[in-house]
Amino acid sequence: MTTALEFRDVAKSFTLHLRGGTVLQVVLGATFSVAPGECAVLWGPSGAGKSSLLRMAYGNYRCDSGAILVRDGERVVDVARAAPRDVLALRARTMSYVSQFLRVIPRVSARDVVEAAGREGGLSEGEARDRAGDLLARLNLPERLWGLPPATFSGGEQQRVNIARGLIAPRPILLLDEPTASLDAENRAVVADLIAERRAAGAAILGIVHDAAMREAIGGRIIDVTAFGTARAA
């Protein structure tokens, strides 16, 4: 497997027990791959299953059928079948996920949130500390905020903390869910640079990016997900 991440005939549905067992088929026959050093962008209208695909790759959503193969060093792990502990190991070593929302323990400071993510990703204490500072500075988060818990931050500030947290450890696969949705142009450009650097360093990147300029900036190959959602329309 020369790819870093591969979806093979992946299907995903939701059974809504609270709505009389309605079944929503959100993904069917999803097949694609992302190579190291490649950036791919999931493309399709809202509700087409982009987010579900990304979350399945991270093990956050279950997968009904098919395989989601992740290269983890010398071995390949099927996230669709992996035990929870193996998924956690993948998250620690191999996959970063930057979501739209920041979910952290309320009292922890922004800098500590980012540093902790670095240590969990295998950085030494010193490296984590230095990189956290670098990242927050590059993302233009005012230094006076670093020591404060992000719960009180604006949406854009929270998102920058989230990006720093997702990018601090140099994991070979990067999953991005609208990382720049609440950022201004200047900070979007910073994020685009950071992503480009990771890509140049050989990371495989899979993302959802609605903003056309941002897509352009990170040079993403388009994966059209409407092809995987046909059964639902039918």
Partner 1 sequence: MTPLLSAHGLTKSYGPRKACDGVDIDVTEGEVLAIVGESGSGKSTLLSMLAGELAPDDGAVRYRDREGRVRSLGEIGPAELRALARTDWGFVRQDAAQGLRMAVSAGGNVGERLMGLGQRHYGNIRAQALDWLDRVEIAADRIDDPPTRFSGGMRQRLQIARNLVTAPRLVLMDEPTSGLDVSVQARLLDLIRRLSGELGLAVVIVTHDLAVARLLSHRIAVMRAGKVVETGLTDQVLDDPADAYTQLLVSSVLAA
Contact residue for partner 1 among 73, 84, 126, 142 (CB under 8 A): 84
Residues 99-128, interacting with partner 1 (CB under 8 A): 103-108
Taking Cα atoms as reference points, which of 139, 150, 142 lies closest to residue 112? 150
Contact residue for partner 1 among 9, 23, 47, 62 (CB under 8 A): 62
Which of 8-16, 65-73, 166-174, 205-213 is the region at the interface with partner 1 (rule: CB under 8 A)?
8-16
Which of 33-41, 97-105, 154-162, 190-198 is the region at the interface with partner 1 (rule: CB under 8 A)?
97-105
Would you tell me how many other CB atoms lie within 10 Å of the CB of residue 229? Answer: 23
Which of 2-10, 11-19, 31-39, 208-216 is the region at the interface with partner 1 (rule: CB under 8 A)?
11-19
Contact residue for partner 1 among 3, 14, 221, 227 (CB under 8 A): 14
User: Which residues face 30 on adjacent strands?
Assistant: 10
Residue 98 C-beta: closest distance to partner 1, Å: 15
Task: Check if the beta carbon of residue 101 is closer than 8 Å to that of residue 55.
Answer: no
User: Which residues face 27 on adjacent strands?
Assistant: 12
Residue 182 C-beta: closest distance to partner 1, Å: 18
User: Which residues face 204 on adjacent strands?
Assistant: 173
User: Which residues face 43 on adjacent strands?
Assistant: 224
Residue closer to partner 1 by CB (options 39, 79) is 79
Which of 2-10, 39-47, 84-92, 175-183 is the region at the interface with partner 1 (rule: CB under 8 A)?
84-92
Distance CA 79, CA 90 (A): 9
Residue 16 C-beta: closest distance to partner 1, Å: 7
Task: Check if the beta carbon of residue 82 is closer than 8 Å to that of residue 57.
Answer: no
Distance CA 25, CA 231 (A): 7
Nearest-5° angle of CA 204, CA 113, CA 145? 115
Q: Which residues bind partner 1 (CB under 8 A)?
A: 14-18, 55, 59-62, 84-85, 87-88, 103-108
